[in-house]
């Protein structure tokens, strides 16, 4: 293969890969890197639970390249290691409009820009991490789901009920993992 043709083919492959990566549905946070440690200010604050001694601030999130067909978004934050492996749901939100590109700091805690579902604590807003000391860092998976459903689901759905409602209507998902331990 002539050198010019080989170079052209390599350049085309690199540009094609770059264009594909640029179109990926992506979820990020300016507060932590993917699989990075979350600051203690994002941990829960509950006087009844000594493991919840943070400020219960919710982290900012940004997303990009939402699929064109998206009519609404849903966001779930789950700690699979919580409750000794049975899992803890920290946040369930949906009816997020497709024009949204993220949540500002504390928007999830303050109930701004979404319909709140029911987390493990029974609230419709952010419930920060409260892992017990000495158990290592837990992994908090943030999953943003693009759906073909209009933003009119009723408030108070659990994670499982939300997944039942959106099943068959999910278009794509983007994920982010944060770690936190005491």
More confident residue, 14 or 69: 69
Cβ within 8 Å of residue 1, ≥6 positions away: 9
pLDDT tens digits, one per residue of 67-112: 999 999 999 999 999 999 999 999 999 999 999 999 999 999 999 9
Question: Does position 145 have pLDDT exceeding 50, yes or no?
Answer: yes
CB 82 within 8 A of CB 138: yes
Whole-number pLDDT of residue 180: 96
- The per-residue pLDDT for 135 is 84
3-state secondary structure 30-99: CCECCCEECCHHHCCECCCCCCCECCCCCCCEEEECCCCCCCEEEEEEEECCCHHHCCEEEEEEEEECCC
- Residues 45-66 have a mean pLDDT of 94
Contacts with 140 (C-beta within 8 Å, 6 or more apart), sequence order: 38, 77, 78, 79, 90, 129, 177, 178, 179, 180
pLDDT at 21: 57
Q: How far is CA 120 from CA 6, 12, 136, in A?
A: 56, 49, 21
Confidence of residue 22 (pLDDT cuts 50, 70, 90): low
Does the pLDDT of residue 54 top 50, yes or no? yes
Rounded mean pLDDT of 10-35?
71
What residue ranges define each of the domains in the chain, with the CATH number in brackets? 25-180 (3.90.280.10)
């Amino acid at each position: 293969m002539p050198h010019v043709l080989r170079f052209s083919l390599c350049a085309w492959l690199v540009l094609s890969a770059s264009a594909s990566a640029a179109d990926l549905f992506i979820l990020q946070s300016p507060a932590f890197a993917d699989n990075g440690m979350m600051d203690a200010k994002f941990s829960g604050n509950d006087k009844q639970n000594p493991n919840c001694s943070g400020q219960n601030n919710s982290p900012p999130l940004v997303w990009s390249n939402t699929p064109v067909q998206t009519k609404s978004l849903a966001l779930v934050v789950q700690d699979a290691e919580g409750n000794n492996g049975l899992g803890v749901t920290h946040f369930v939100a949906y009816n997020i409009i497709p024009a949204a590109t993220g949540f500002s700091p504390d928007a999830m805690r303050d109930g701004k820009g979404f319909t709140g579902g029911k987390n493990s604590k029974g609230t419709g807003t952010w419930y920060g991490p409260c892992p017990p000391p000495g158990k290592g860092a837990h992994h908090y998976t943030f999953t943003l789901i693009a759906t073909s459903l209009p933003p009119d689901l009723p408030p108070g759905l659990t994670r499982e009920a939300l997944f039942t409602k959106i099943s068959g209507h999910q278009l794509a998902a983007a994920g982010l993992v944060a770690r936190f331990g005491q």
